[in-house]
A and B are shown apart, each in its own frame.
Chain A
Amino acid sequence: MGDNKVIEKQEQNKEPEKVIEVKHVKKVYRMGSERICAVDDVSFDILKGEFCCLLGTSGSGKSTLLNLMAGIEKVTSGQIIIKGKNIHKMNENNLARFRQNFLGFVFQSYNLLNSMTALENVEFPLVFKKVPLRKRKKAAKEMLTKVGLGTRLKHKPKQMSGGQQQRVGIARAFVAKPEIVFADEPTGNLDTKTTMEVMDLIKQIARDNKQTIVMVTHDKRLAGYADKIIHILDGKIQEVEILRDITKPEESGESSEQNLKFFSEEEESVTEDTKIEDAKIDETKMEDAQQLVSATTEDKEEN
């Protein structure tokens, strides 16, 4: 463990890598004639190896934000850049491949396939990655042993307790060694004791492999596990709270305002570029302005 910390520190000192960049993301739902702005012009970054918690009450738009970051839902406007790629510009196939290689998921309702055994469930992501049968069986077995279910490989989800099912879910999320794991209320259906176990498990595996975790929860106590807490209310960031010194404080993207400032600086630095590009930037500016306007109007509508 001590060695790990040293290495981490070295890496941090070099230059903390932004794994996820959320830029002015907005999501508007249509419910009949009503428009609901679930995520409203949100910008933040998540660094490599960070445990980030999206904290908010139910209906705050935190789950939607997670789904947007995972590419499960489409953004209304804005960009989400994961590992330097705008995931909402990818086609469906590339996004699927991207998920196979870089993303893992843990769900509140586990989302295990009931017809399959624990082992088969954990194997599932590797099946899509075309990992050979023997290799993926081995990997799945190892992962299940790691989450403490080494003796329950052949059990079906219905034959296991909630905690056990969620361990299978965690094993499935981590089996392909993804760089980023998204967890949507992973302990929402579990009792307190199991919750702690599951959280420790996630944290431990993530730390061992230096994986980035993005977790959504409404539970303030769980947020204590995180390195960074992003408080969300009514689709907007209320506050970014940094609990652990994993990264330089000024890089953590405290608010969307700072990001905006950063952007304007960038614009100024490209004055030497051609007029066409300038025009493009103007367009984006215009768009931004429009978004702001529409956002405010939407807020009014909501109220």
Chain B
Amino acid sequence: MKISDLLKMGLRNLFRRKARTALTVVGMVIGTISIVVMISIGIGIDSVYEEAVMSNGSLSLINVYPTGGNGGFYISSSDGGQQKQVQLDDDIIEQIRQIENVKFVSPIINKYVTPMSGKYQSWLDLMVVDFSVLKEFGIPMLEDGSYPSKEVKTKILLGSNCLRDFYDYSSRYGKTKTIDLSKDKVTFTFQDYAQNDKKRPYKVTINDNYAYFTNDENTMYSYSGFMDIDYFKEIYTKYANTLKVEDRKKAMKSIETYSQAWVNADNIRDVNKVVEEIQALGLQAYSAMQELGPMIETADMLKNVFAGIGLIAMLVSAINIANTMIMSIYERTKEIGVMKVLGCVVRDIKKLFLFEAGMIGLIGGGIGIAFSYVASWAVNKYGGKLISSIIPGNGWYVDGTGTDFSQIPWWLPILATSFAILVGVIAGYIPARRATKISAIEAMKTEG
């Protein structure tokens, strides 16, 4: 049989029993709607967490600290004092960079400086980072000016709350003054070591090369200043040159190791794995993902439950199709017998029934997709509160209010329709095989 004849015959057979075909199609429509809407809600839930991650900027960020000695967020006590000390130096930064799924690594030196403007004084937590990867850490927009380019790295980026208020510590009640960097000259100097009286202290002027971040929700960037590591080393060397000889050596040695490092993972789902690998290097690593991770897992489970509900509906409609096809075979037993006797190849009979079953899947899937958009709209309009109330961490870590929970991406209709066809064909397979097994002689004896 030619394909065109096969299609024509299949369609004719479907139209012969309109009511039955329609009912089976309706079953498929319901199956498709449920699977599309359930998956779309899963995608919506996903997007809530993605959004949380994006707005936070720090979820894919891993803070790495050396063990023992300087600073550290917490000290893992698993092996107590036995732990060897691991310093953050260029070697280990390189090792971290080699870990799979690590996107960027930046060493960080924290320096606390006191900027001065005349007799007024302020404070600044200076974060010395690698400017070439700075943008990757989700820093906020600049209020004015531009991000440092690759060549010019002498910029100091200031958090929106930095260097606004200055105090006069010499006055009795702490007179304050609001400094405008565009008018008032501000300088700072490092104070790590005692000043060598024989040399003039090294001062860095901020006014020439600063830029403010915009006021961002992510407060992590609001109270710190950022400086490129190469530029920092340059000015710190100049500073060290003003020190006494023994202090100069200590100062130069101190900037060979870092107080902290930022590591960015490719994907928020890989964060925990990267954290573990960094910990395996003997370092301390911490990420907000460790809090959010279990929540995302719970949300994943929720998604699976939704998808499962959709699949059950699909399964029911598959059984429905199988039933329809079996009924159809009983009805058409004689026809099948005649076809066989007239020389129809068994494979064509099978194809015919599979086509009919697949066609029910296609029609049901197509109509189901159309209705899915309506259902999706209804879910977004009326179901938002319900869903946001059941997603984990809502109101704390993520904000589900106002989200469109049912989102249908372009690939979902295609996927769902193909799936509907596939379900139809699979459901039609056993009946189709049964049709081929019908004995021609028995079939022709039946009425119909």
Contact = CB atoms under 8 A, between A and B. Distances in A.
Given A107-B444, A111-B334, A99 B2 contact: no
Contacts of A115: 12-13, 16
Nearest to B345: A96
Contacts of A105: 341-342
Interface residues of A, number: 27
A103 interface: yes
A113 interface: yes
A128 interface: yes
Interface string B351-374: 000000000000000000000000
Contact of B341 (A99, A109, A127): A99
Interface string B322-365: 00000000000011011111111111100000000000000000
Contacts, number: 60
A221 interface: no
Given A107-B444, A113-B335, A130-B2, A70 B346 contact: no
A277 interface: no
A128 B339 CA distance: 9
Main secondary structure of the interface of B (DSSP, over half): helix
Contact of B1 (A70, A107, A111, A130): A130
A111 B348 contact: no
Contacts of B441: 67, 72-73
Contacts of B12: 115
A51 interface: no
Contacts of B339: 124, 128
A151 B325 CA distance: 36
Nearest to B9: A127
A128 B347 contact: no
Interface string B120-150: 0000000000000000000000000000000
A85 interface: no
Contacts of A35: none
A124 B345 contact: no
A96 B16 contact: no
A171 to B, nearest CB: 13
Contact of A93 (B13, B337, B347): B347
Interface string A52-72: 000000000000000100101
Pick from A103, A107, A115 the residue with the most CB of B within 10 Å: A115
A100 interface: yes
B343 A99 contact: yes
Contacts of B340: 96
Contacts of A155: none
Interface in A69-101: 70, 72-73, 92-93, 96-101
A98 B343 CA distance: 7
Main secondary structure of the interface of A (DSSP, over half): helix
Interface in B434-448: 440-441, 444
B5 interface: yes
Given A72-B341, A111-B338, A115-B12, A128 B444 contact: no
A93 B343 contact: no
B447 to A, nearest CB: 9
B444 A93 contact: no
B346 A92 contact: yes
A130 B337 CA distance: 19
A70 B348 contact: no
Contacts of A93: 345-347
A225 to B, nearest CB: 23
A148 B342 CA distance: 22
A129 interface: yes
A125 interface: yes
B343 A97 contact: yes
B343 A96 contact: yes
A8 B85 CA distance: 111
Interface in A130-177: 130, 133, 172
Given A93-B347, A96-B345, A129-B343, A113 B2 contact: no
A176 B135 CA distance: 77
Pick from A67, A127, A129, A133 the residue with the most CB of B within 10 Å: A127
A111 B337 CA distance: 9
Nearest to B335: A113
A26 to B, nearest CB: 17
22 contacts: A67-B441, A70-B341, A73-B441, A92-B345, A92-B346, A93-B346, A96-B346, A98-B343, A99-B341, A100-B342, A103-B343, A105-B341, A109-B444, A111-B341, A115-B16, A124-B342, A125-B342, A127-B2, A127-B9, A128-B339, A128-B343, A128-B348
Interface of B: 1-2, 4-5, 9, 12-13, 16, 334-335, 337-348, 440-441, 444
Interface of A: 67, 70, 72-73, 92-93, 96-101, 103, 105, 107, 109, 111, 113, 115, 124-125, 127-130, 133, 172
Which 10 residue pairs spanning A and B have beta carbons closest together?
Answer: A100-B343, A99-B343, A96-B345, A125-B342, A128-B344, A128-B343, A111-B338, A72-B441, A127-B5, A72-B440
